[in-house]
Amino acid sequence: MRNYSKQREAILKVLHNSKSHPTAAQVYEEVKKEIPNISLGTVYRNLTLLVESGEILSVAVGDGNDHFDGDNSFHLHLHCKKCGSITDVPVDSKTFDALSQSEGFCPQNAVCVVYGVCRNCNK
């Protein structure tokens, strides 16, 4: 990761405090409240750096936007095809470790999206 920056720290703060998996535009709107003169380009560049360094996850759910997750631990993302919500679900890392070991692969992180209909939309 590059040197510390106020902008990057503000972006991380937004992502660590959010469970909604915001898009870059949504992160920009939140960061702008703290840093009014920040540009959308700066947010995009910093999100790219944070994903590349493994500090955050980029979650593509097929809606044309990348969504960002401040939790880079191994977990599933449940994406509701009706309302568009994305929900984190913890997964036992032993299953993931066993799969990785059987293939001789050393994972650094993973993004898994399960598509369906959420509890609220099922009602």
Quickly list H helices, the chain.
6-16, 24-34, 40-52, 93-103, 119-122
Choose the CATH number for 6-69 among 1.10.1740.10, 1.10.10.10, 3.40.50.720, 3.40.50.9100.
1.10.10.10
Q: What is the mean pLDDT of residues 10-18?
A: 97
Q: Given this model, what pLDDT does residue 2 score?
A: 60
Residue of higher predicted confidence among 41 and 74 = 41
21 pLDDT higher than 90: yes
pLDDT on residue 93: 75
- Judged against a pLDDT cut of 80, whether residue 12 lies above it is answered with yes
Q: Which numeric CATH code is attached to 75-122?
A: 3.30.1490.190
Neighbours of 107 (CB within 10 A): 11
Q: Which phi and psi (to 5°) does residue 62 adopt?
A: 90, 15
Domain extent listing, the chain: 6-69, 75-122
State residue 96's pLDDT score.
73
What is the rounded average pLDDT for all residues in the chain? 91
What does the pLDDT average to over 74-102?
A: 87
Identical topology for domains 6-69 and 75-122: no
71 vs 22: CA distance, rounded Å:
12
CA distances from 28 to 9, 42, 93, 104, 111 (A): 13, 9, 33, 40, 23
Residue 8 in this model has a pLDDT that exceeds 60: yes
pLDDT in tens, 62-79: 999 999 999 988 899 999
